[in-house]
């Protein structure tokens, strides 16, 4: 019996060392709003990153390791985002992509930083997110101050003399309004109205009446597309034909469903380019694959920026920078990585580098038309 037992032990050892051991999976987290008012944005984020993961795994993974995507719904809500971040931090992910909304991202930042996990925000443009000095926080979207400069430039070039600034008190919208006001003051363009609305309401006639009494020649509402759509529709119902402008949070096709094409006609906004306007080979190849799988295109740029974040994490792993400290250090030196929205790089704060904004106008058929640079 001892002899048989010894032979079995030898056989077991031979079997163990001869059998190929699968490489451990690389876990990457994705935090996005799969429920709530931004659910369509979150679903596109999930679809884009899932497709990129599938493509990478079909090509052999990263250095022979398969990628596992761990998804948590933040519902577009800061409290839910904090819980989602805690779940991701305890799931063994090496990096987290997301999320949409500066206040939502901010609720997750310290949790992921304390867990020593690299986080790459996507639709989170508030300046203060990278002013905190968190070593492992990055973003693939530009900051509000960059957008504020672009907005002020567009307003001045448009010849507007009396500007009304309206925001929703969120980190993003108030930050953009403040940055734009500062730039307009430098340019000598008067801001004659500055106030906030309450997001989620159904009737904005009271704030619109106050705006009309101030007699501006332009309204710049810096908040998100649901309220933008309501303002446009109710402004039309009032018979007020004043031009209205938005920032990149208005860049969503659902704006037209809320406002209606007639009320939205002539509305303009500044934003990174829409998916269909992205002309790099990487973008065109990926969008063709996306359409083949989902029979549609992403509705906004913010979901595409989640794909950029995945590309950055993938590139770091290919360079052997799997450790969070090493990954963060390497990302701060990254420049000119071919990504979906164009070349991608970060500065020492974790902010995206390079000019990114374009102007769009809604035509009388409800199409978002990109304007010449």
Residues in CB range of 159: below 8 A, 6 or more apart: none
How many independent structural domains does the chain possess? 2
**Count of CB atoms within 10 A of residue 115's CB?**
17
Higher-confidence position of 94 and 3: 94
Q: Please report the pLDDT score of residue 21 as a whole number.
A: 38
Over residues 214-226, the pLDDT tens digits come to 999 999 999 999 9
Residue 89 has pLDDT above 70, yes or no: yes
207 located within any domain: yes
- Could you tell me what percent of the chain has a pLDDT over 70? 94
Specify the 3-state DSSP secondary structure of 99: coil
Q: Kindly state whether residues 94 and 201 are assigned to the same domain.
A: no
Q: Please report the pLDDT score of residue 357 as a whole number.
A: 85
Question: Residue 28 CA to chain centroid, in angstroms?
Answer: 17
What span, in angstroms and rounded, lies between the C-alpha atoms of 209 and 228?
16
Q: What phi and psi values does residue 221 have, to the nearest 5 degrees?
A: -95, 120
Looking at every residue in the chain, the average pLDDT score rounds to 91
> For residue 258, what are the domain limits?
145-271
What span, in angstroms and rounded, lies between the C-alpha atoms of 343 and 114?
30
Q: Please report the pLDDT score of residue 24 as a whole number.
A: 60
pTM for the predicted model, two decimal places: 0.74
5 located within any domain: no
What span, in angstroms and rounded, lies between the C-alpha atoms of 328 and 138?
9
Q: Kindly state whether residues 246 and 307 are assigned to the same domain.
A: no
Q: Kindly state whether residues 127 and 35 are assigned to the same domain.
A: yes
Residues facing 164 on adjacent strands = 193, 219
Q: Kindly state whether residues 130 and 222 are assigned to the same domain.
A: no
Q: Please report the pLDDT score of residue 207 as a whole number.
A: 98
Residue 9 has pLDDT above 90, yes or no: no
By C-alpha distance, which of 142, 144, 224 is closest to 179?
144
Average pLDDT for 83-109: 96
Q: Kindly state whether residues 186 and 120 are assigned to the same domain.
A: no
Average pLDDT for 21-45: 88
- Whether the CB-CB separation of 259 and 227 falls below 8 Å is answered with no
Residue 354: left (phi > 0), alpha (psi -120 to 50), or beta? left
Residue 63 has pLDDT above 70, yes or no: yes
Q: Kindly state whether residues 263 and 153 are assigned to the same domain.
A: yes
Higher-confidence position of 144 and 132: 132
Read off the CATH number of the domain in which 202 is found.
3.40.50.2300
What are the Cα distances from residue 255, in Å, to 31, 82, 370?
A: 23, 28, 16
- Could you tell me what percent of the chain has a pLDDT over 90? 81
Confidence of residue 11 (pLDDT cuts 50, 70, 90): very low
Chosen domain end from 239, 271, 303:
271
Average pLDDT for 359-363: 95
By C-alpha distance, which of 175, 133, 91, 112 is closest to 99?
112
- The distance between the two most distant Cα atoms of the chain, rounded to a whole number of Å, is 99
Over residues 241-277, the pLDDT tens digits come to 999 999 989 988 899 999 999 999 999 999 888 888 8
Residue 329 has pLDDT above 90, yes or no: yes
Q: Kindly state whether residues 60 and 133 are assigned to the same domain.
A: yes
Average pLDDT for 71-82: 97
Exposure of 32 by Cβ count < 10 A (0-12 exposed, 13-18 middle, 19+ buried)? buried
What are the Cα distances from residue 316, in Å, to 31, 301, 312, 321?
A: 20, 23, 6, 5
Residue 182 has pLDDT above 70, yes or no: yes
20 located within any domain: no
- Whether the CB-CB separation of 223 and 168 falls below 8 Å is answered with yes
């Amino acid at each position: 019996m001892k002899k048989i037992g010894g032979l079995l032990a030898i056989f077991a050892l031979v079997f163990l060392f001869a059998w190929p051991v699968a490489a451990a999976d690389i876990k990457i987290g994705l935090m996005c709003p799969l429920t709530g008012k931004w659910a369509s944005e979150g679903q596109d984020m999930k679809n884009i990153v899932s497709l990129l993961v599938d493509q990478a795994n079909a090509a052999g993974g990263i250095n022979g390791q398969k990628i596992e995507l761990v998804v948590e719904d933040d519902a577009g809500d800061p409290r839910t985002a904090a819980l989602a971040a805690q779940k991701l931090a305890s799931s063994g992910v090496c990096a987290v992509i997301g999320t949409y909304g500066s206040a939502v991202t901010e609720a997750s930042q310290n949790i992921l930083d304390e867990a020593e996990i690299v986080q790459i925000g996507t639709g989170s443009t508030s300046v203060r997110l990278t002013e905190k000095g968190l070593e492992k926080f990055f973003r693939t979207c530009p900051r509000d101050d960059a957008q504020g400069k672009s907005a002020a430039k567009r307003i001045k070039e448009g010849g507007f003399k009396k500007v009304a600034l309206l925001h929703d008190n969120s980190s993003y919208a108030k930050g953009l309004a403040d940055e734009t006001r500062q730039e307009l003051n430098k340019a000598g363009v008067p801001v004659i109205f500055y106030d906030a609305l309450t997001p989620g309401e159904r009737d904005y006639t009271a704030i619109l009446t106050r705006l009309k009494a101030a007699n501006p020649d332009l309204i710049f509402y810096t908040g998100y597309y649901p309220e933008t759509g309501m303002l446009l529709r109710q402004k039309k119902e009032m018979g007020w034909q004043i031009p209205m402008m938005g920032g990149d949070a208005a860049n969503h096709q659902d704006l037209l469903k809320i406002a209606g094409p007639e009320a939205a006609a002539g509305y303009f906004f500044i934003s990174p380019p829409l998916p269909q306007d992205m002309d790099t080979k990487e973008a065109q190849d990926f969008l063709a694959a996306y359409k083949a799988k989902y029979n549609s295109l992403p509705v906004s740029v913010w979901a595409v920026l989640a794909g950029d974040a995945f590309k950055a994490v993938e590139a770091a792993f290919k360079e052997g920078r799997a450790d969070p400290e090493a990954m963060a250090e390497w990302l701060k030196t990254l420049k000119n990585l071919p990504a979906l929205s164009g070349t991608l790089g970060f500065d020492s704060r974790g902010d995206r580098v390079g000019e990114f904004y374009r102007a769009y106008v809604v035509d009388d058929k409800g199409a978002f038309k990109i304007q010449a640079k």
